[in-house]
Amino acid sequence: MSSTSSPEPPAPGRADVVRTVTVGRRTLRVSVRHGTDPSVPALLLMNGIGASLEVLQPFVDALDRKRSVIRFDVPGVGGSPRPVVPYNLPTFGPVVTGMLGRLGFDDPVDVLGLSWGGGLAQHVAVQHRRRVRRLVLAATGTGSLMVPAHPRVLARMLTPRRHRDPGYARSIAGEIYGGTMRADPDRAARALHSASRLGPRRGYYYQLAASTGWSSLPFLRLIRQPTLVVAGDDDPIIPVVNARIMARLIPDAQLHVYDGGHIALITEAHELAPVIEGFLDG
């Protein structure tokens, strides 16, 4: 079943439609920006840990209006209610593809996963191969089997405080996000808090637990879709060497390394959006 909190969809390219969709026992808050060209495959965005779909707005705004864009809040984050039972990446993949069906996107879509969402995107690309046309993996890694961040950075990631406290986000932005956040930490605070919605703290921990012990390293060669791996050369959370490993092991992958840090897809969206759309249109 599905329900909606919005009226009929507006004209393509005009505004986002926000609604709730229930697949199985999972209820997700979803946003769809309807594109102006139905022949262009839709783009499904999968967000980083603890972030509501609003955080991705700068990137969505930088994309060509011809392209439909789908975003969602994972259970317990943003506007999605917390899960009745815990989930993990393998069990959440069918929820994502079921959501697409509920929304009427029956053709293959392009998928972009950012950070935690990149792990989910890798799993969906293998688990539901026919539903994914092209894959973009941004500022992400292979899970538990990867070159790790510094322990101090990892410790900062164990709490959702940066999503709830702008002052704290500002104080640690350079250390954990790198790139332009080192010189302008206010940008990180604005990106995370300007319009984001906060779910219960428990949602963050559910999301963290969903990927605990998971790794895509054993199945990277099973990703058959054309893949763009996008990584910053100053990303304290996901050292860039992980992107090089992924691009080498995924059969049809190319690597784009940009000057910047972990959340440049959001803070420098106008620089990265053309790179990603060039790949998708290619």
Catalytic residues: 115
Residue 52 buriedness (CB in 10 A; 0-12 / 13-18 / 19+): buried
76-110 b/e with 16+ CB inside 10 Å = b? bbbbbbebeeebebeebbebbbbbbebbebeebbb
Please give the backbone phi and psi of residue 63, each rounded to the nearest 5 degrees, phi first: -85, 150
What's the rounded Cα separation, in Å, for the pair 263 and 43? 19
Beta bridge partners, 113, equal 46, 137
